[in-house]
Amino acid sequence: MVHTLAEIEQVILRLNPKERATLAHNIIDDLDTLVDENVDRLWLEEAQRRYRAYVAGKTKAKPAQEVFDKARRRLHQ
C-alpha cells in the first residue's frame, strides 16, 4: 500500500493537534539522528573564523536586537 506525500499529508492533517505534535516530535527526533557527527566541530570552526574576521576589522558587529528583528520579519514573510 504505497501512498503519495499528498495522501499522507491529508491523513496527518486530520489528526488532532496533540497527535500531530507527537508525530512531529517523533519525526524531528528521527531526523536528529541523521546529523553529521562533525557538525559541532564545523560550527566551532565557523565561529572562530567569524571572530577572527571581526577582530581583524574585516566585518562589523550588529546589535542583537537588529539581528533578531530581521529574523522575525523573515519568518513572518
Split at pLDDT 50, 70, 90, the class of 17 is: very high
Contacts for 36 with CB less than 8 Å, ≥ 6 apart: 42
Query: C-alpha grid cell for residue 71?
Result: 529574523
pLDDT digits (tens, 9 = 90+) for 59-75: 999 999 999 999 999 99
pTM of the model: 0.48
Question: 20 to each of 25, 30, 47, 59, how far by Cα in Å?
Answer: 8, 15, 36, 43
The residue ranges of every structural domain in the chain are 39-75
